[in-house]
Homo-oligomer: A and B are copies of this chain.
């Protein structure tokens, strides 16, 4: 990373995210408004723009990190970030499609502090909405991009979708599988989280007419950054501040998630492993107190530090994938954000 220090700018990551959300919002609103009812209202609810009855609100539609990556990739290719607006909108639509379906699959009742789509409208309509958002993502690309670019963009989007499905399926299989190793975890997390961030960067570059080598480099950057993002997510799922993350303390332990710290501890058979293994194998619900104790044990055994290091390593690997001469300051700012975020 040292050779890249000169490229660090003072860009505020929050500004990059805010700019991405601002740039995408009109296109996203148009895309959702063009869906048939009741899907249009459901989609607007998912993006925090209305209540279930359609009353306008501003509940927020997430950080916009994937959109920001697409725009930053365009900047890195020497273009105005607005060139990548179709990519940014498409990846946020695709991301929300996966969230709506994941909430059904996982039975999650809250998303961004509000009842999930399936909780409000039921599982059938939630499946329909996810399908429609998936359709919208591809639709945006073929509507907004020139034909020569659109076909390649759709191919990348749909390849990413198949990989996302695989990652989600693997993650789900981990719940009932013992002996998940770090290698299995990394493959799953790359599919589940890395793929879409890689796709965001690749599509952002594609929109600018970048050559294949540049697009592939940005894809690799995004994939590795996405893996770092997931590992940080896992770190926050065990040791995050509930007032910042919006999730209960030790939420991932209570749910017996095969997250990075858990998988790494069990594989290394360190001081915290035996107790943790017993806790995960028990049939009884894990209490908040037990989760807090396990989190402290994992920290004492060095797993928190190992998780931080693993995330940092993937951020470094992501930065190493960037071509030497690239004006990558926005991408680097976002990479720094991913590694150091507390949300």
Contacts and interface: CB of A to CB of B under 8 A. Distances in A.
Contact of A131 (B35, B37, B130, B145): B130
A124 B38 contact: no
A198 to B, nearest CB: 15
A159 interface: yes
Interface stretch (A108-116, A133-141, A293-301, A325-333): A133-141
A134 B128 CA distance: 12
Interface stretch (A61-69, A162-170, A214-222, A334-342): A162-170
Interface string A28-42: 000000011111000
A135 B150 contact: no
A253 interface: no
Interface in A132-189: 132, 134-136, 138-139, 141-143, 145, 147-148, 150-152, 154-155, 157-159, 161-166, 168-169, 172-173
B165 A39 contact: yes
A165 B124 contact: no
Nearest to A125: B169
Given A128-B169, A148-B147, A154-B142, A105 B134 contact: no
B162 A142 contact: no
Given A131-B130, A134-B134, A139 B159 contact: yes
B36 A166 contact: yes
B131 A158 contact: no
A127 interface: yes
Given A101-B127, A124-B105, A150-B151, A139 B158 contact: yes
A36 B163 CA distance: 7
A15 to B, nearest CB: 33
A116 to B, nearest CB: 14
Contacts of A145: 151
Nearest to A152: B142
A135 B147 contact: no
Contacts of A134: 131, 134-135, 161
Given A39-B166, A105-B124, A131 B172 contact: no
A131 B161 contact: yes
A121 to B, nearest CB: 9
15 contacts: A36-B165, A39-B166, A97-B131, A104-B123, A105-B128, A131-B161, A132-B161, A134-B161, A135-B159, A142-B155, A142-B158, A147-B147, A147-B151, A150-B154, A154-B154
